[in-house]
Structure 1
Amino acid sequence: MLKVIEGAGAQAEPASRKYRFTSNVIATIILGVDLLCLTLGALLSPVAYELIRGPQYFIEQHVNVAVIVGVNFFLIRLSRDSYAHPMGRGGDSDQAVAFEFLLAAMLVFVTIWQLGQAKPFSTGLALCYLGLTAGMLFVSRFVVRKLIFYLVRAGHIGQRIVIYGADEASSERVLRLLELERLPYVSVVGIADDRTKRIERNTPWSVPFLGGLEALVGRIGRGDVDMVIIALPMISQARLDQITEALQLVSVDICLMPREALDLSQQYSMRFIGSLPLFALWQRPMRDFNRILKAVEDRVLALLGLILLSPLLLLTALVIKLTSPGPVLFRQQRFGFNNVKIQVLKFRSMHVDRQDETGAERTRRGDPRVTLFGRLIRRLSIDELPQLVNVLRGEMSIVGPRPHATLMMVGDSYYVDAVRGYAARHRVKPGITGLAQVRGLRGEIGTIERAKRRVEYDMYYIENWSLLLDLRIILETVWRLIWDRDVY
């Protein structure tokens, strides 16, 4: 816990002499890097192809096509708001840049072929251009991330934030949301509030309390605060006016965190039905083509998994049958998509007469209900592999929020009662693995705080889903199977 300063707030360090940019310049950097990759791809691919095959092409036509591909590429990216949230969602949002380039190129090449103008073009040069440019765009994302990290550490880019509002629940919610985004350029300076006259040293926050409005204005005047986020969900218009008028005396960005972002979802947006504006609080995730893409991903990976892991599955079933009496599989009723109950399959890891099909009794370290072989397969999550059949049935996904037993409890309460908004995690199919599991929340959840954090990760996954995020979670799952010591 950071040291808390009582009274008027902490003494600020002298303002840096470096010229500091906000996060807005990151989108410009990324756009400039994309333009550089397209230019280098168009210039270098003829050179590379000529070294391989010789000058067997018409350079003018290829340059014109490269320009059209570049225009299409930027139109696609702008239509998807790819530059709107640079490095957001942990850097997972922009790894599809190579795919967007190939899509733009395919549209141009199909058009040329349909018009009967493909004959003058070299197929080899086109493939060289596609491979070289797509490769540079993909690699550029890792290079840009390293560059941004360097600029942040050097103090040239940064977003120094103060949260205004000492309400414990609201301020903690903002801190957790910022932590989920994993933005390297964001740092929280502290928390301010006029209502709190004296903050105890044992504060609930991981950042210091700075004082009231007067102290905050003085702190901003010293030059080490870029943004103030007002996180007061029930704020009145009069009080909001009072705060903004005081902060207008100094140069700082003032933002209001809406109640909807604190209590419901951070993915709210403006939508229109015709010209009628609507404030969208919830939206169906994985809609349209994303829904089809997710379904194809699940079926393909589940089928491959069952084929490749069939020796392990058969061996596990045989050992269970030989080491303890009872069926090989354990079936448990759990919540699925849209809160519909499903029968989830697992390899049996407990003695038959001690199993709890309701899930009300949590498994604990050294649980006597678990068999000797059951401890091994639970430790390596082999007991979860039969759920590949649930995925093929369309009841589950490879990656998604873990399905909970219908009577599962945390503390003395059922999950649905203990965690506000819990049921919203069932807007997608449950998964064999999930983001919460690879972020250190695998295994027993014994406290309401850990339960809330697991649900927050589930909601974050739902609202930020992508194929690349799924791939990342799968790879991290394999890694954690080796090193995780919190599962039993």
Structure 2
Amino acid sequence: MPDCASSLAPATMIDGAASGRAGRGPFRPEVWLNARQRSSVRLAVYYFRAADVAVAAGLALAALWALGDLDPRTLTLGAVIPLAVGAVAILALLRGLGLYRFGPNPAPLIHLACVVLAGGLATGAALGLGLALGQGLGPVIPWGVGTTLVLIALHGLWLTLVARWRRQGALSPNIVIVGATRNAEALIERALERRDLNVLGVFDDRLARSPDSLAGVPVLGAADALLSHRMLPYVDRIILAIDAEAGPRVRDLTRRLETLPNPLTILVDSETGRDAVLTRLAGAPLAQIGGGSPDARAFVKRLQDLVIGALALIAAAPVMAVIALAIRLDSPGPIFFRQRRHGFNQEAIVVWKFRSMRHAAADATASRQITANDDRVTRVGRFIRATSLDELPQIFNVLTGEMSLVGPRPHAIGMKTGETESALLVAEYAHRHRIKPGMTGWAAIKGSRGPVNTEAEVRRRVELDVDYIQRQSFWLDLWIILITVPVLLGDRAAVR
């Protein structure tokens, strides 16, 4: 695995919570990427595998065409089968040899040697099958040589990109440690030697006893400070490193930290100093962008967003142009309304909507939620809110990857229910952020739309959102997308 030591230069803290305490540490990544951006980098492996499939299949067709065997009138199964088997074999070998993994990889020369081996074995299998079918050498040799050479070039590019991402820290898990204990210090010291994960900071609820730093990593505040720390969107995993004999303290911290969307791992005392725990942490998935779902499901969800989102934008473009003109003619102010809301892993994103209220009455923090016959809403605003057309610009948020077509609806940061911030009413509120927010969602088609004016409404919204996260699938998303328009248009009771 490439050595990341030179790239993990100290950087200033991204939060001022530890003013006066140590503010720099040895693990800071070269480039700060939040969990959503890092997950997007990790999904690049699927695009690369798709490129390999295109190369193997495309060159097979090219070989048949070059030798004049692609004419449908003369094409035979005997000519096609060897190349089809060869293409499948080389793709299976590339995957079987582990050449698409982000974990500790062999040296680049070994990786490329494996590509050559896969190409040679696949070509041999195709050639043997072709001879057995009486096809002779045919197009197999040109295909095998050409495919192997192109794959060597592609995998060389792949290795270059992976090395760059690794230098930037995009492929090494970002963790924070709760508990400035000897367990934590041993973990940090061993991690510093291995350099396969980034320890962003330490938190301890007994600040009076804790040092300014632990093995060079700054102590950034008390455990409660982590609950609202600006570092959270960058954190893949929280490590609780409390001595095992402090049972009540472990249970209390676990209860408090489990309200966060970030995965929590408890470091057992007997594991301290062992490579096993470091290997397990370094090899653990980064923060999952699909609510704990495998990367393959997250990749399918992203493709769904891109394909359906692009088609929706094309279809909605004329309607959006008419709405923009109507807003401009109806009242003074900008066409769009932008609001900061929470996205995946509590990342702050800017969500786009058509402006439906008078510009002077804009409420960026949703401190006053919408009500029936709200005097802030314009004439055009009443129509586009009633039909949910004001949400159409969020297609841009979907295409840029900040949102998904389906997911929990993003709430404004600091949104209030009555006089209390909504996020404080339900302990599991932040669990909504374990997946990217959506233009529509399970809660929306189940009747939980618009303002949440009571604690019971907030609780029901959270329950529906968490239920969706646990059940998310391609087919469920497709069903929600299809049912959204008739459900919204048929609902005259919801305040929007």
Could you say whether these structures have the same fold, taking a TM-score greater than 0.5 normalized by the shorter chain as the test? Answer: no
TM-score range, shorter chain: 0.3 to 0.5
